[in-house]
Amino acid sequence: MYNIFVSVLEVYNKHIRDLLATSPTLKKLEIRQASKGVHHVPRIIEAKVKNIKGVWDVLQAGSNAKAVGSNNVNEHSIRSHCMLYIMVKANNLINGECTKSKLWLVDLASSERLAKTEAQGERLKKAQNINQSLSTLRDVISSLATKSSHITYRNSKLTHLLQDSLVGYSKKLVFLQISPSEQDVGETLSSLNFATRVQGVELGPAKKHTDMGEIQKLKLMLEKTKQELRSKDDALQKLEENVLNLKCKAKSKDQLCKNQQGKVNELESQLESKTELCKLLEKQLLQHSEGMQGEDEICSNFQRKVNELENRLKEREQAEYVTQHKVSAKNVKELENTLKGRT
């Protein structure tokens, strides 16, 4: 993953100005040294861009705030060193490595002879500061070309800012804008000599710069993420165990439900059989009831006949009794008469 940041600075009258700042800051912008000789300016605006148009828009915004002035030689003479700073940060999402690369595009202020410009007062002071910073840059380039052990980077804000880009493992390119006029031949030769010195400086092959601080942060983030993953894995394992227990309980309950369902089916079968038996018994009972009704009727008829026979028998007994009584009375009377006759 890549992120690109752009800043626009100006070294003006020995001071550093942030050309992207909407309002001037009361505190001076100073150069600070970070880890392993990397120099930076705290509190400077770093605009994040996504494409070339974004870089161009930022450069245009900064260019509108540059300091310019006029003199006898140049109506729009640039009175400062304008510096476009591009930082590319690459984060390796696999191993957490953070790599930084930066590009300085420096528009140096023009080197103008004071005798020609006839600058005075404040303009003279500004011109002297510009020439001094350019002279320091020449000295630094000469020291680098001769591989001197002592290089005066801090004699100028310009060289101090460019210090980590002028040492080994960097690349440099110089573009000169010279005048075709014969009266400017001195400045032209001076510029060409400066370019020749720059060309003779060997900085060595470009080297990848890895931000160990960013790596440490990413390692800490990675370790924290691993711990969170371990915690989540433990929680997930417990959750899986709970799910497994619930599945076992559910399986036991399913088996119990199946057993209960089997018993219910058996009871339903028995109930169905008993229901059929009850229906059969009801049918038989109905048949017996119908049979009993016929028997009751027969019994009633038989009882009626018995009653009739009993009544007839009683009548006959009464008649026989009366008859016998009459016969007995007659016999008694005859016997009495017989006895009377004998007497």
pLDDT for the residue 75 = 43
**102, 88 contact by CB (below 8 A):** yes
Mean pLDDT (the chain) is 81
Confidence of residue 115 (pLDDT cuts 50, 70, 90): very low
pLDDT, tens digit, 9 for 90 and up, residues 21-58: 887 665 678 888 776 667 788 888 999 999 999 999 99
pLDDT, tens digit, 9 for 90 and up, residues 200-258: 777 666 555 555 566 667 677 888 888 899 889 889 999 999 999 999 999 888 899 88
Residue range 295-320: mean pLDDT, rounded: 83
Please state the length of the chain.
343
How does DSSP assign 134-173, residue by residue?
HHHHHHHHHHHHTT-S---GGGSHHHHHTHHHHSSS----
**211, 99 contact by CB (below 8 A):** yes
CA 170 vs CA 103, 143, 144, 204: distances in Å = 10, 16, 13, 7
Token look-up 């017989």 returns: 338
* CA separation for the pair 340, 338 (Å, rounded): 5
Least confident of 148-152, 219-223, 313-317: 219-223
Q: Taking 80 as the threshold, does the pLDDT of residue 129 lie above it?
A: no
pLDDT for the residue 85 = 92
Q: How far apart are the first and last CA of the chain?
A: 175
Q: What are phi and psi of 210, to 5 degrees?
A: -105, 130
Confidence of residue 74 (pLDDT cuts 50, 70, 90): very low
pLDDT for the residue 25 = 62
Burial of 209 (0-12, 13-18, 19+ CB in 10 A): middle
Token look-up 């929680």 returns: 235
How does DSSP assign 91-143, residue by residue?
E-TTT--EEEEEEEEEEPPP---HHHHT--HHHHHHHHHHHHHHHHHHHHHHH
Largest CA distance in the chain: 226
Confidence of residue 331 (pLDDT cuts 50, 70, 90): confident
pLDDT for the residue 56 = 93
Q: Which residues pair with 27 in a beta bridge?
A: none
Percent residues over pLDDT 90 in the chain: 12
Structure token pair of residue 303: 């009882």
Taking Cα atoms as reference points, which of 111, 101, 58 lies closest to residue 83?
A: 58
Q: Taking 90 as the threshold, does the pLDDT of residue 4 lie above it?
A: yes
pLDDT, tens digit, 9 for 90 and up, residues 159-198: 888 888 887 677 888 888 888 888 888 888 888 888 888 8
pLDDT for the residue 26 = 53
Amino acid in position 332 = V
